[in-house]
Structure 1
Amino acid sequence: MLSRPFLRLLLLSVLLGVPISLAAFFFVSLQHWLQHEVWEALPRALGHDRPPWWWPLPALALAGLILAPIVTRMPGRGGHLPVGGLNHTPTHPRDLPGVALAALLTLPLGVVLGPEAPLMAVGSALALLALRAVRRDADERVTTVVATTGSTAAISTILGGPLAAAVMVVEAAGLATPQLTVLLLPCLAASAAGALVFTGFGQWTGLSIGALSLPTVPPDVRPDAGDFLWGLPIAVLVTVIVAGARGLGEHTRRWTAGRATAWRTVACAVAVGAALSAYALVTGRSPAEAALSGQITLGQLAAQPHAWSVGALVALVLCKGLAYGLALGSMRGGPIFPAVLLGAATAMACSGLPSLGVTPALALGVVAATTAVTGLPLTSSVLTVLLLGKDAHDQMPLIVICAVVAFVTSRFLERRTAGRAEGAGR
Structure 2
Amino acid sequence: MLRSRGYLALLVVGAAIGVPVSIVAYFYLKAVNNAQTFFLTDLPRDLGFSGTPVWWPIPMVAVGGLLVGLSLRYLPGPGGHNPAEGFVAGSPLSTRDLPSVACASLATLAFGAVLGPEGPLVLIGSGLAVLIVRLLKRDTPHQAVVLIGAAGSFAAISTLLISPLAGAFLLLEAAGVGGSMVSVVMAPGLLAAGIGALIFVGLNHVTGFGTFSLAVPNIPALGPPTVGEFGWAIVIGLAAGVLGTAIRRLAFQIQPYVTRRVLLATPLAGVVVGGFAALFAAVTDKGPEEVLFSGQNALPTLIQLAGAWSVGELVLLVLFKSLAYSVSLSSFRGGPTFPGMFIGAAGGLALSHAAGLPLTAGVGMGIGAMTVVMLGGLPLTAVLFTLLFLQSEALNLISVVIVAVVVAWVTAANLSPWSRPPTAGTGSRPAGRPSRAGE
Do they superpose with TM above 0.5?
yes
Aligned to 1:424: none
Structure 1 position 206, deviation (Å): 1.2
Q: 1:117 aligns with which of 116, 119, 125?
A: 119
Task: Pick closer, same or farther for the CA change 1:370–1:50 going to 2, 3 Å.
Answer: farther
Q: After TM superposition, give the deviation of residue 219 of structure 1 in Å.
A: 2.4
User: 1:208 deviation in Å?
Assistant: 4.1
Residue in 1 aligned with 2:61? 60
TM-score by length of 2: 0.91
**2:233–2:403: 8 Å Cα contact kept in structure 1?**
no
The one-letter code of the counterpart of 1:307 is: A
Q: Deviations over 1:287-313 (max 9, x none)?
A: 011110101221111112221111111
CA contact (8 A) 1:343 1:368 kept: yes
For the residue of structure 1 that corresponds to 2:286, the secondary structure is coil
- SS of residue in 2 equivalent to 1:280: helix
Whether contact under 8 Å (1:32, 1:209) holds in the other structure is no
In structure 1, C-alpha distance between the alignment counterparts of 2:345 and 2:34, rounded to whole Å: 25
Counterpart of 1:176, as a letter, is G
Residue pairs, 1:1-400, within 5 angstroms: 1-45=2-46, 50-89=51-90, 90-208=92-210, 210-258=212-260, 260-374=261-375, 375-400=377-402
Whether the aligned pair in 2 keeps the contact of 1:52 and 1:287 (CA below 8 Å) is: no
In 2: Cα distance, 1:171 partner to 1:279 partner: 36
Q: 2:415 aligns with which of 410, 413, 416?
A: 413
CA contact (8 A) 2:245 2:419 kept: no
Tell whether the 8 Å contact from 1:290 to 1:316 is kept in structure 2 after alignment.
yes
Q: Deviations over 1:164-219 (max 9, x none)?
A: 00111222232333221121111111111111111110222011464533133222
Structure with bigger RCO (C-alpha 8 Å, 6+ apart) = 2
- Is the 1:213–1:295 Cα contact (8 Å) retained in structure 2? no
How many angstroms does 1:78 deviate by? 2.1
Q: CA RMSD in A?
A: 1.9
Amino acid at match of 2:346: A
State the Cα deviation string for residues 297-353 of structure 1 (Å, max 9, x = none). Answer: 211111122211111111111111001000101011111010100111111111011
How many angstroms apart in 2 are the aligned matches of 1:211 and 1:319?
A: 26
TM-superposition CA deviations, 1:15-49 (whole Å, max 9, x none): 00011101111111111111121223334445666
Question: Is the contact between residue 284 and residue 313 of structure 2 (CA under 8 Å) also seen in structure 1?
Answer: yes
Q: How far apart are the structure 1 equivalents of 2:313 and 2:164?
A: 35
- Do the aligned partners of 1:71 and 1:78 also contact (CA within 8 Å) in 2? yes
1:238–1:347 contact (8 Å) kept in structure 2:
no
SS of 2:78's equivalent?
helix
Distance 2:331 2:213 in 1: 24
Identity of aligned residues (%): 38
Q: What runs of 5+ residues in structure 2 fail to find an aligned partner?
A: 424-439
CA contact (8 A) 2:201 2:211 kept: no
Query: Which string of whole-angstrom CA distances, capped at 9 and with x for unpartnered residues, describes residues 219-254 of structure 1?
Result: 233321111112211121122212111111111211
In 2, Cα distance between the equivalents of 1:113 and 1:401? 26
Unmatched segments (≥5 aa) in structure 1: 422-426
Asked if the contact 1:223–1:357 (Cα under 8 Å) also holds between the matched residues in 2, the reply is no
Tell me how far 1:141 sits from its aligned partner. 2.2
Deviations 1:355-401 (A, max 9, x none): 11101001101111111111111111111111111211111111111
Deviations 1:138-174 (A, max 9, x none): 3332222111110110010211210100111222232
Corresponding residue SS for 1:296: coil
Say whether the 8 Å CA contact 1:210–1:295 is kept in structure 2.
no
